[in-house]
Structure 1
Amino acid sequence: MFNWLSNITDHAQLLTQRLHHLLAPPGATCLTCGTRAILSSLYPGICPRCVQQIPWIRSIRCLRCGRGVGCPDCARPHMQNRSFILNRSAVQYTPLMKEWIGMYKFRGHERYAPLLTALLIQAFQAMSEEHISALAKEPSAPVAHSATLAQPTKPQWLPDAVTYVPVSSERLAERGFNQAERLAAGLATACRLPIVDLLQRQINTTKQSFKSRGERIETMKNAFSINPEGIHLIERLYRESHLTAKKGMSHDEPIQILLIDDIYTTGSTLDACGQVILNDGFTMGIPVEIYTLTLARS
């Protein structure tokens, strides 16, 4: 008797689930708002309404740091000697982006990883097109030609390698991963770029978000160093870049490294990391150019 009643209950639950599935709106549940809808094919896990809310930095006001609004920082005299050529960021660091990044960075919500990586990849594509356009305006810039007239290819700027801002061993143990490394790896895979582990963090700095501008800059001094294998990686990049370079390329042509982080606030972290790489390159007599790309810009 008990087994019979149990079978009836299970059957009723199965019918209820099927009925719910048939009557529910088509699609899947949006990662960020919970709405059931046909999800975006470009931005994994979110619905079209959430796609519309992404605060893209579409108009760059500061060509140095990539800010979309007025930027007093880059006008400061001591900011003229930063280690990176320029920074670009995908989105403004709004409360919505703070929530998305926080869900991944602090709560380990893995489903956010493909979404955030997709945002970074789109920002890199825009950065690449901007770089090519700038080169095309230079009188001496080489003109990229397509392989065949039948299949023209769009010129694209690609750095020699991608690297990332490291976290301390304490922070790595706490979170279980380095979000900047994950973003860099996703970008490098999608764009078929080599990713290199150049840097290590020497000290465990406290959270930067609670510090003033001056405190951030002071904290970052001596916070990073080159990895033990970093020197060999730079040498290899320099050698390979010149082996594959076009005929006539100068041996003084610098290697270009793209440095990745999740959030740009004052740029002190990126500047400190870039300076370490430049210093080691200078010691070895290898010219280096640092470009930076972040997910968000505050």
Structure 2
Amino acid sequence: MSSLSFDPQEYTKQLEVAAETLNGLLADTPELAKPRVMIICGSGLGGIADILAAEPKVEVPYNKIPGFKTSTVPGHAGKLVFGLIGSKKVPVMCMVGRLHFYEGYSFQETTFPVRLAKLLGVEVLVVTNAAGGVNPDYVPGDLMIITDHINFPGMAGYHPLRGPNMDNFGPRFQPLSDAYEHSLRKLFFEKKKELGITRKVYEGTYFFVAGPTFESRAEVRFIRATGGDAVGMSTVPEVIIARHSGLRVLALSLITNAGVGEKPPTSFDEEPKPLDEGMASHAEVLETANEASKDVQKIFEYTINEL
């Protein structure tokens, strides 16, 4: 489904069928039928679903939901988990494994879950990702609360709102200066302090690229020069659609690798550094995410309990 062939009426019908399917699967657990928060788990962060109470809980594989595409990336389980979080039993839907543009899906397909969440009654989107650190102060294992983003594909025409506008969700021209809500970011930091978690948390700008290649040295320097603090291949399309749908947004990047930005050695260097020194890999992303996930889970548990 490209943006040129996108039919809002047909898309809305697909969303309604998907919502009816989930409502049917949740009929026996009415306390889960109206989720208030949607959590999107990034690479290696699927363990966030573990903060849901053991009961009641409903898991639905993506391939059981009409119109929902399947995640193909290692570390992405590909299921929705409905459950309750915290002492206040906040009903949530947790997306364990997201969909990416680089997998071959259109932006309408990758953001289908966010529109679906809106139809189910979700009010807040909590979105996480694994990202490369571009800011030289960032090291693997640090966290970054997103305060703003640069939608690089969108600036070149590949935008999730390209094509006919879905007037039943939001306006033709969506403002994004308030995309990352201040009160939600403040709440996150308050809960981190209350819990005594010492892991470093920054606030910064997320630079969205299409992927799936990790950035070249020159691209890292370009991203740094244009104001990006972290770079990744997700999140921004989901945030844009969430804001277009009237959802509040809290977004977090886990820094899993440091971007290599220094220029490569020249042919005249006598003892050049190996070109693969510091090179990113998906295995490194997953390993770092697993190490930091416990802190992320704890802070989110206490943050979402207040939503």
TM-score for both structures, normalised by structure 1: 0.29
Give the structure with the larger strand fraction. 2
Question: Computing the radius of gyration over CA atoms, which structure comes out larger, 1 or 2?
Answer: 1
TM-score for both structures, normalised by structure 2: 0.29
Give the structure with the larger helix fraction. 1
